[in-house]
Structure 1
Amino acid sequence: MAVLFSIVPLLLIGLAVCGAVVVLRRARQVSSAWSSGITAEARCIRSYTTTSSSSSGDSSVRTTLHTVYEFTTRDGRVIRFDETDGPSTRVEGDIVTVHYLPEHPERATAKLPAPGKLAASTGCALLFIGVFIAFAVFLIVVANSAGSMH
């Protein structure tokens, strides 16, 4: 039984580390697009929402707003991308400025440059992941110390 309480938290730690990598990668992409990217005018093609239920069994539902944009790069390629959690007032046909890196235009962002907000949200996500990892380590320590008492 102690093995189960060691393996499951280790798997959860692995998932948490993967989540941290995803958070850091996206923050770096957005920051790079803002600071050294180029801009283009994009048109909002559509917006839609997705919902997901809580995995903990309660009745809470998370709704995510998606907005699809299309723009033409300086070299003439038409790029379409989907971005989450944009302004809810954005509607089909709106023209917005997007920031992108020429080598990765599919990673464009229509979010207004806000480095402080990006740093704060990334920091909060990493803090949450860190607390999650600490709890998993705590479970491993408790399982191993309880197993050594018998």
Structure 2
Amino acid sequence: MEAFLYIVPSLMIAIVSLRAVAAIRRSLRVSRAWSGGLTAEARCLGTYTITSGGRTAVRTTLHHVYEFVTREGRAVRFEERGGPGTTLAGDIVTVHYPADRPEQATAKPPAPWRLAASTGCLLASLGMFILVALGYMAVLHSMF
């Protein structure tokens, strides 16, 4: 029974740590597209929403599907979530993409400080969760 009280927080810490790694990778990918990438004109092929949540809280995330042609003539299609609600199917937008990985393009306008702030806040909240879980395990250890 005592081991179970350590296993659950440890699994939660592992899951939160994986989420932190994913946030850092996403931030680096977008930053790389902005700073060292190329630009192209892309057409929004369509939008759709994904709704998640339950009875009390519902969250809707807007997704866009874009397509553009690289400088080498390769057609690339990609999806991006969280874009502006004013971009509709048929609209032309500027995308930024790394020269060696055009499938990692982004249609979000460059905003490095905003990206750093949002990633930092997310990492801080995930870090606080991990500290609380470690504190919980320390209290359990002192009790048994």
Normalised TM-score (structure 1): 0.92
Contact kept, 8 Å, 1:51 with 1:61, in 2: the verdict is yes
CA shift at 1:2, angstroms?
A: 2.1
Q: Secondary structure at the match of 1:127?
A: helix
2:88: which partner in 1? 91
Contact kept, 8 Å, 1:6 with 1:139, in 2: the verdict is no
Normalised TM-score (structure 2): 0.96
Matched, 1:113 2:110: yes
Partner deviation per Cα, 1:92-141 (whole Å, 9 max, x = no partner): 00100000012111110000000110010000110111011111111211
Contact kept, 8 Å, 1:5 with 1:139, in 2: the verdict is no
Q: Which runs of at least 4 in structure 1 moved beyond 6 Å after TM superposition?
A: none
1:43: which partner in 2? 43
- Number of residue pairs aligned between Structure 1 and Structure 2: 144
Partner deviation per Cα, 1:42-89 (whole Å, 9 max, x = no partner): 0000011001115xxx52111111011000111111111110111011
2:129: which partner in 1? 132
Structure 2 unaligned segments of length 5 or more: list them. Answer: none
Alpha carbon RMSD of aligned pairs, Å?
1.0
Distance 1:13 1:93 in 2: 43
Structure 1 unaligned segments of length 5 or more: list them. Answer: none
- Counting aligned pairs with the same residue, the percent is 53
